[in-house]
């Protein structure tokens, strides 16, 4: 099957990473169809509007498709547990059922390293098994369940691979970068502990190319999960400072003990369940753990099996972010 004769369905293509994946696939030749609740905004893609929780919309989007890249998810630090379950687990189940019925043979399930994060440091590990019982928060818990569901459908008739991009960022990012910048500008972005914990991150173009590489290699690598990062772990204080400076704001300078931040995160979570705010909570246990513990990953298996290398370094990504911010 040649790229020119292939139709790939991408779910969640109106999101930051989803749009980058669509552009990457279009550049490689396949026809790309998207499924999400609002237009993807990517020229050359054919949009089908709807939700992955709607079997009719999913079936329409899959007509004539040969492969699926599944990114659609509810991503948040807060919200009703039932909503995470409905979208992240129920939507994945609906998509997989429809894909099998439509004769689709290849699925890339886009997951998250948080599915195997239990609150302690990760230092050079490979992709550990997804663990819903120990995952931190409703997002991670339901993404872990969804990954297990997806990989559990892998077999002779359907090849499934899970890709876990870690902390994706870049120009136009309304999640990680925008929240870092907004909190820094408001003086609400502390360094937890000494800010020396090493963390991996992934420039958006690298994440998109890795997902495309996984799709190309899925028949050889299916049935397993692969963490994707730039492979350039940096101290969290350095990474935050780089993103802030590239975005034209002062980096954080005040510090909070990590244990105190975790306690505050637990208290905020309890308050949010009773009286949720209009925006994301200022701190959660998961966020405190992410900002105060090391999490970097061995990339050798990912690069070997996916036949992929990141093309954009952290420093080059920061230069691109600065150029984008200056022109905005």
How much is the average pLDDT of 260-280? 60
**Of the listed 139, 203, 226, 305, which one is catalytic?**
139
Count of CA atoms in the C-beta half-sphere (13 A) of 1: 15
Domain positions in the chain are: 3-166+203-229+297-310
For residues 269 and 281, the answer to whether their CB atoms sit within 8 Å is: yes
Helices (H), the chain: 16-28, 55-62, 81-84, 91-102, 138-152, 176-185, 204-221, 236-246, 258-274, 285-292, 300-306, 314-327
- Assign a CATH topology to domain 3-166+203-229+297-310: Rossmann fold (3.40.50)
Question: Is residue 188 within 8 Å of 282, Cβ to Cβ?
Answer: yes
Nearest to 108 by CA among 198, 193, 228: 228
Give the pLDDT confidence of 68-93 residue by residue, as tens digits: 999 999 887 667 889 999 999 999 99
pLDDT in tens, 207-238: 999 999 999 999 999 999 999 999 999 999 99
| Known catalytic residue at 139 | yes
pLDDT tens-digit readout, 115-144: 988 777 788 888 889 999 988 888 899 999
Nearest to 104 by CA among 59, 145, 144: 59
CA dist 321 and 92 (Å) reads 33
Distance CA 203, CA 221 (A): 23
Quick check: helix, strand or coil at residue 284?
Answer: coil
């Amino acid at each position: 099957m040649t790229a020119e004769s292939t139709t790939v369905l991408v779910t969640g293509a109106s999101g930051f990473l989803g749009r980058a994946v669509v552009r990457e696939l279009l550049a490689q030749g396949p026809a790309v169809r998207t499924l999400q609740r609002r237009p993807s905004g990517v020229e050359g893609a054919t949009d089908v509007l709807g939700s992955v929780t709607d079997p009719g919309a999913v079936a329409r989007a899959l007509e004539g498709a040969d492969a699926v890249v599944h990114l659609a998810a509810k991503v948040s630090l807060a919200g009703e547990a039932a909503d995470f379950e409905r979208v992240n687990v129920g939507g994945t189940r609906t998509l997989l059922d429809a894909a099998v019925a439509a004769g689709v043979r290849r699925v890339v399930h886009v997951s998250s390293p948080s599915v195997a994060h239990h609150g302690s440091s990760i230092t050079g590990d490979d992709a550990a098994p997804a663990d819903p019982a120990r995952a931190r928060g409703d997002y991670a818990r339901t993404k872990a369940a969804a990954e297990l569901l997806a990989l559990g459908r892998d077999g002779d008739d359907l090849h499934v691979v899970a890709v876990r991009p870690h902390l994706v960022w870049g120009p136009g990012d309304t999640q990680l970068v925008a929240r870092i910048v907004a909190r820094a500008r408001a003086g609400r972005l502390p360094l937890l502990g000494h800010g020396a914990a090493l963390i991996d991150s992934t420039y958006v173009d690298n994440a998109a190319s890795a997902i495309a590489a996984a799709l190309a290699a899925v028949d050889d690598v299916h049935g397993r999960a692969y963490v994707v990062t730039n492979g350039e772990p940096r101290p969290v204080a350095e990474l935050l400072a780089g993103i802030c400076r590239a975005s034209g704001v002062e980096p954080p300078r005040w510090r909070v003990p990590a244990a105190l931040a975790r306690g505050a995160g637990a208290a905020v979570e309890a308050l949010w369940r009773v009286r949720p705010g209009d925006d994301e909570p200022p701190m959660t246990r998961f966020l405190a753990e992410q900002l105060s513990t090391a999490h970097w990953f061995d990339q050798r298996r990912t690069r070997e099996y996916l036949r992929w290398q990141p093309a954009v370094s952290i420093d080059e990504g920061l230069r691109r972010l600065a150029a984008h911010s200056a022109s905005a």
